Amino acid sequence: MARRNVGRHGRRVQKITPRRWLPFLALLAVIAGAVVISRQNDQPDPVRDRAPAAATRLPVASQADALSTAWYCAGGSGLGPDGPSELSVVIANAEDHGVTSDISIVGANGKQATTTVEVPANGRTRVVGSEFVKATWIAMSVEVLGGRATVEREVQGPLGFDVSPCSSNAATTWFVPSGSTVRGARLDLVLYNPFPDATSVDIVFATDQGTRSPRSLKGFAIPGRSVRVVPQQDLPARRPEIATKITARTGRLVVDRVQTYDGTGDSVKGTGATPVATPAPKGLASTAAIPTVGPRWIFPDARVSDGVRTQVAIYNPSSREARIDVAVDHQNPARYPEVEPVQITVPPRSEQIVDLTQVQAITPDVPFSIDVRSLDEVPVVAEQLSFSAPPVAAAAAGGAAAKETAPPAVVQGFAVVPGAPVAATTWFFASRGGSLARNASVVVANPGAGTAHLTVTQLSAGKRSVVTGASVSIPAGDRRELDLSKADVGSAIIIESDGAVVASHTLVGLHGRGLAEALGTPFPETVVDLLPPR
């Protein structure tokens, strides 16, 4: 008798033959394909190939082998040169071949347009939004097809200008650590939904009078492919400091902040027993909100001097109090007295300002870097505010005398720059000064434990070349301003280091009017998280 295949409990086991299992394999393949398609449909923006998680914490350049990469740029107007904050984008290409970029422009009035531009090899292209859409507020999505690239926004108006990276990721949660609605100040929160499906958000403010969550901003709707601005009447009124948290109920979005001062309002108050006030500021800052929290933030470039005020805004959105050290490190620290860290405690869901102008241990007119550290690893968000105006004594002289007595380094302006929660070995700047500024400086801070050796390459007229005299070595815990005097004005810049560093640039407007500060965009595969404070 032939033997039967019998399983446990005497149950007959049927032999699985190719005729039986091949259909199962085919079915599994169909199911797997459907899952892949479903996941692709759930990710409406282009895929950033193999980008590490740390690279999603700030705007980054594209991967060299990415098929396509998107940036999202809002926080500006489309009313032409006479508008309050004219928005344009600068696309820089670090490849030895040209690339194509598809651009979508959306207005708050519902108008939309698209265009395609070519970005030359080792070169740049600038696109002005108002040439395609006329609206009080506009947003632009920039998709670069292939290659290593980065995108910066340029915003210019009668009160000043700003140059900063566009967001390279949409997110569900955004933080704006600072803002002001005092007399002479205006805060605009610009919400951009670049995707087809509608989303809605909840907006919460932290002020010196506590947390506020207006009913009108619960479930605040942003239709698909649209831009909306939070109504002024829904913002906390007449508050010197406002931090904001924006959380999407569904989907993702992009958030930008525009802060202006018209020069006629309240002065910036000082702190301490003998506070010193800065005259009513005048300037414009347009930057992406911050999509992450972290225990450590680095600011490469800061100073205090007569007429220049430096503050750090620290927002704690968590449910735990945060003990914070704000460490200041002078350039060439051995030459100057050590500065003890400024110690503060930020309560849950609140914001505090650290004013470095009146920290007596900081040597005036000597540049320094700032290291914000959360001692218990409670995640916070931090950004630097710079107020610049001619000294009071010079301003009081009036007319031509004021211009002659004001130090050349002191300009009329206001700038905001987010801290870097990460470091990287390669940083990319779309322009060394851009089309809106004459004077520019690039500063690199080394938060690592060893010396970092830098090489600087410029992209100009379709060619790559090492910038003579810009290569430098930066000791651990130090910072350096790069000598870019031999670089072409307006060229794109790539900084390469053998250690993880943080790079930013400062731009000064024509004739000393206007100020901008911004981080560069790192190559994502070189990004590393900062080690927690010891």
- What confidence tens digit (pLDDT) does each residue in 7-25 have? 333 333 344 444 444 444 4
DSSP state of 470: T
Confidence at residue 279, expressed as pLDDT on a 0 to 100 scale: 87
> How far apart are alpha carbons 317 and 340 in whole angstroms?
26
* 301 has pLDDT over 60: yes
Mean pLDDT of 298-317: 95
CA distance 17 to 262: 81
Strand order from edge to edge, sheet including 350-355? 350-355, 308-316, 381-388, 413-418
Residue 355 · residue 271 · CB < 8 Å: yes
Sequence spans of domains, the chain = 173-529
Position 508 scores a pLDDT of 87
pLDDT (average), residues 143-161: 94
Band of residue 162 on the pLDDT scale cut at 50, 70, 90: very high
Structure pTM? 0.87
Residues 350-368 have a mean pLDDT of: 94
Backbone conformation region of residue 238, classed left if phi is above 0, alpha if psi is from -120 to 50, else beta: left
User: Model confidence at 249, in pLDDT bands (50, 70, 90)?
Assistant: very high
Please list, in sequence order, all residues whose beta carbon lies within 8 angstroms of the beta carbon of residue 162, skipping any fewer than 6 positions away. 153, 154, 155, 156, 284, 285, 286, 287, 415, 516, 518
